[in-house]
Amino acid sequence: MNHWRKLALASAAALILAGGADPAAAQRRSPAAAQAQKSAPWPGLPPGASEEYMTLRDGVRLAANVFKPEGKGPWPVVLSRTPYIKDGRIDPDKDPKGVKNRENLVKQARRYTDAGYVYVLQDVRGKGRSQGFYAAFENDIEDGYDAVEWAAAQPWSNGKVGMTGGSALGITANSAAMAAPPHLKAAYVIVAPADRLSYSYPGGVLKEKDTIGWLSQQGVPQSTLDQTRGRSLDDVGWNRVAMTTNRKYIQVPIYNVGGWYDIFNGGTVENFEYLQNQGAKGARGNQKLLMGPFGHGPLSGDLAYPGADRLGLAGDQEIRWFDYWLKGQDNGIMDEPPVQYFMMAAARKDALSPKNRMIASANWPPAYREVRYYPGEGDALSNKAPTSASRKVSYRFDPTDPVKTYGGANLTFEKGPEDQRLVGQRQDYLRFQTPVLDRDVAIAGPVKVELYAATDGPDTDFVAKLVDVYPDGYEALVLDAPIRTKFRNGRLPEDIRMMTPGAPEKLVIDLWPTAITFEKGHRIALHITSSNAPRFEVNPNTGEPPALGKLKPRVATNTIYMDEAHPTALVLPVVYPDDVR
């Protein structure tokens, strides 16, 4: 039996012994006892909220703001668990007293209370007014279980709990769902990953600025940051809290909302795919997916997609979702197609294409055909497989002079479809592109690059980018991802294998999914290089982890092969517009 299920069952058994047959009953207190548990009001409390505390199974107490509807309860509950402070974060420059943040929290709470829900916003362990030590997402499976059961047992609750939140709050919602608390009935998760290892280390390469930068902003100590820098291998620590390992225990419907330029793009899609098609009873067949043209914050670059505001795009879907699963209202939401995705197209700020649109689908991905585009002579990219016996191109990759990041699925800095012409002309940055398209090419599904490559040392990185080239030359980034060559066979210790200098090997780079129409008059481009900083940690080409830094970085000569025996290819999931309208 799964370790966390054992803990959950042990916790439930203890509650039953303490309070009867209902596992939430032991948490119920008389009004006088409940009052004794509350802290005195304090000035930071948002208007309309009461502060209530719960005690976790290990004795740590967590604080929550509770917003109740008008009238007489009990009511269903919508719960969010946050590391971002339940009373609103202080911005020393823009909002030193946190007034705007509290106003936003109150506005957010009213969405739920006006719809007839108690809204509970809880500080996670070690944050804000809660006790304990904060270790990002390490305790949120068991803490989430306890929080759901506590909320279900309160006098203002009717015992039905939903969870909601985006990003870190989406992770805590997924974590609680993996523990399968009996009173959790549904969740609404916005932009959350499937596996933190894959999203902190895509292709085995640390997302330098976002991973280390975000943890630093959360007050994580330097010792933990140093450990994170060295955690590129698959281990029990990553898997203990990973959705990929534990989502088989999820038993509830989840509405997943994600963005094509979001840092957790692939996770949002992957979680839906698994739970909808392979999930446990209660989850399978009851999932929803909405993918829009947004990132983890406002997009950079010269494109402006309609519906780039993720909340605006989702509309009232969240309340409808909870009305169906927590109130039993037959509002038709489960009669609608389970998938809605935005088909991106040309979107210059002054020339938006009408081919930008939402598409409904019975599942993800929609039916597609893999079409390979092969780089070749003269920087060409075509769907004709190479026939030459020998064709290759080499460049020198100097770790002290990395290619600079311009856009992408970033969190803490510029993100989205920035113009890759800003990279400039460099000998270590290869551009391959199709002729001007004489018809639209629409794709929807997973994108990858099958790269045949060699290096003259033990290890290096390769980075691939999918780019939409506009008629005026604007190189709009669509997707990008790296691979560290020593991890080409996997991330377990026994999978690591250094490269044989000069010997080409097949490397598969997962670029994640997307949906975009490369319009007539545009070009499809594949860009290949070996660095993208500060988005990704720069490889010293020595074979040792960059965090160790014992060996002097070396300049690598990297080679891309493009011949009949080594058919490097961009693999696109081509759909047919008439079939997906």
Summarize the confidence of residues 265-281 as an average pLDDT: 97
Choice among 15-29, 101-115, 434-448 with the minimum mean pLDDT = 15-29
Question: CB–CB of 275/284 below 8 Å?
Answer: yes
* pLDDT bucket at 14, cuts 50 / 70 / 90: very low
* pLDDT bucket at 101, cuts 50 / 70 / 90: confident
Q: Residue 227 carries which side chain, given as an amino acid letter?
A: Q
Nearest in space to 245 (alpha carbons), one of 513, 509, 3, 515: 3
Is the pLDDT confidence value at 28 over 50?
A: no
Look at residue 99 in the predicted model and tell me its pLDDT: 76
Distance CA 202, CA 198 (A): 5
Q: Residue 463 carries which side chain, given as an amino acid letter?
A: V
Summarize the confidence of residues 264-271 as an average pLDDT: 95
* Helices and strands of the chain, counted as H and E runs: 14, 24
If phi over 0 gives left and psi between -120 and 50 gives alpha, with beta otherwise, what is residue 483? beta
**Helix (H/G/I), strand (E/B), else coil: 62:** strand
Look at residue 548 in the predicted model and tell me its pLDDT: 75
Question: CB–CB of 26/18 below 8 Å?
Answer: yes
Is the pLDDT confidence value at 15 over 70?
A: no
Nearest in space to 101 (alpha carbons), one of 131, 130, 121, 77: 121
Look at residue 329 in the predicted model and tell me its pLDDT: 97
Q: Above pLDDT 90, what percent of the chain? A: 76
Spell out the residues 6+ positions from residue 93 whose beta carbon is closer than 8 angstroms to its own: none
Look at residue 467 in the predicted model and tell me its pLDDT: 98
In this predicted model, which residue has the larger pLDDT, 39 or 174? 174
Helix (H) or strand (E) holding 270: helix 265-278
In this predicted model, which residue has the larger pLDDT, 306 or 401? 401
Is the pLDDT confidence value at 68 over 50?
A: yes
* pLDDT bucket at 214, cuts 50 / 70 / 90: confident
Q: How far is CA 555 from CA 276, 452, 456, 541, in A?
A: 47, 20, 9, 7
473-515 tens-digit pLDDT? 999 999 999 999 999 999 999 999 999 999 999 999 999 999 9
Nearest in space to 199 (alpha carbons), one of 137, 133, 288: 137
Choice among 91-100, 398-407, 526-535 with the minimum mean pLDDT = 91-100
Strands 475-484 and 157-166: unpaired
Nearest in space to 52 (alpha carbons), one of 193, 135, 157: 157
Q: Mark out the alpha helices in 291-361 (DSSP H runs).
A: 310-314, 317-327
Spell out the residues 6+ positions from residue 398 whose beta carbon is closer than 8 angstroms to its own: 428, 555
Choice among 144-153, 257-266, 297-306, 542-551 with the minimum mean pLDDT = 542-551
Summarize the confidence of residues 297-317 as an average pLDDT: 78
The 3-state secondary structure of 204-265, one letter per residue: HCCCHHHHHHHHHHCCCCHHHHHHHHCCCCCCHHHHCCCHHHHHHHCCCCEEEEEEEECCCH
Against a cut of 0.75, is the pTM above it? yes
Distance CA 543, CA 551 (A): 9
Looking at domain 369-580, does it have CATH number 3.30.460.20?
Answer: no
Helix (H) or strand (E) holding 106: helix 99-113
Rounded to 10 deg, the angle between the 140-153 and 168-178 helix axes is 80
Look at residue 579 in the predicted model and tell me its pLDDT: 46
Look at residue 551 in the predicted model and tell me its pLDDT: 87
**Helix (H/G/I), strand (E/B), else coil: 26:** helix
Look at residue 190 in the predicted model and tell me its pLDDT: 95
Paired with 75 in beta bridges are 157
Q: Give φ, ψ of 506 to 5 degrees.
A: -85, 125
Paired with 518 in beta bridges are 441
Mean pLDDT of the chain: 89
* pLDDT bucket at 227, cuts 50 / 70 / 90: confident
User: What residue spans in the chain does CATH classification 2.60.120.260 cover?
Assistant: 369-580
Look at residue 342 in the predicted model and tell me its pLDDT: 96
Q: Above pLDDT 70, what percent of the chain? A: 89
Nearest in space to 257 (alpha carbons), one of 200, 300, 296: 296
Is the pLDDT confidence value at 310 over 80?
A: no
Distance CA 505, CA 454 (A): 6
Q: Residue 147 carries which side chain, given as an amino acid letter?
A: A
- Architecture of domain 46-188 in this structure: 3-Layer(aba) Sandwich (3.40)
Count of C-beta atoms within a 10 Å radius of residue 187: 27
Summarize the confidence of residues 358-370 as an average pLDDT: 96
Is the pLDDT confidence value at 9 over 50?
A: no
Summarize the confidence of residues 190-194 as an average pLDDT: 92
| Angle, alpha carbons 322-324-325 (nearest 5°) | 65
In this predicted model, which residue has the larger pLDDT, 68 or 42? 68
Look at residue 41 in the predicted model and tell me its pLDDT: 65
* pLDDT bucket at 33, cuts 50 / 70 / 90: very low
Is the pLDDT confidence value at 44 over 50?
A: yes
**Rg of the chain on CA atoms, in Å:** 25
Summarize the confidence of residues 218-243 as an average pLDDT: 86
Is the pLDDT confidence value at 171 over 70?
A: yes
Rounded to 10 deg, the angle between the 140-153 and 3-19 helix axes is 30
Summarize the confidence of residues 212-225 as an average pLDDT: 83
Count of C-beta atoms within a 10 Å radius of residue 381: 19
Q: Give φ, ψ of 53 to 5 degrees.
A: -115, 150
Nearest in space to 164 (alpha carbons), one of 127, 125, 109: 109
Question: CB–CB of 146/161 below 8 Å?
Answer: no
Is the pLDDT confidence value at 390 over 60?
A: yes
Q: How would you label 129-150 residue by residue, b for 16+ Cβ within 10 Å and e otherwise?
A: bbbbebebbebbbbbbbbbbbb
Distance CA 335, CA 337 (A): 7
Q: How far is CA 217 from CA 212, 221, 260, 263, 284, in A?
A: 9, 10, 25, 17, 37
Summarize the confidence of residues 180-196 as an average pLDDT: 95
User: What residue spans in the chain does CATH classification 3.40.50.1820 cover?
Assistant: 46-188
* pLDDT bucket at 438, cuts 50 / 70 / 90: very high
Look-up: residue for tokens 């920087």?
Answer: 379
Look at residue 308 in the predicted model and tell me its pLDDT: 61
78-93 tens-digit pLDDT? 999 999 999 987 666 6
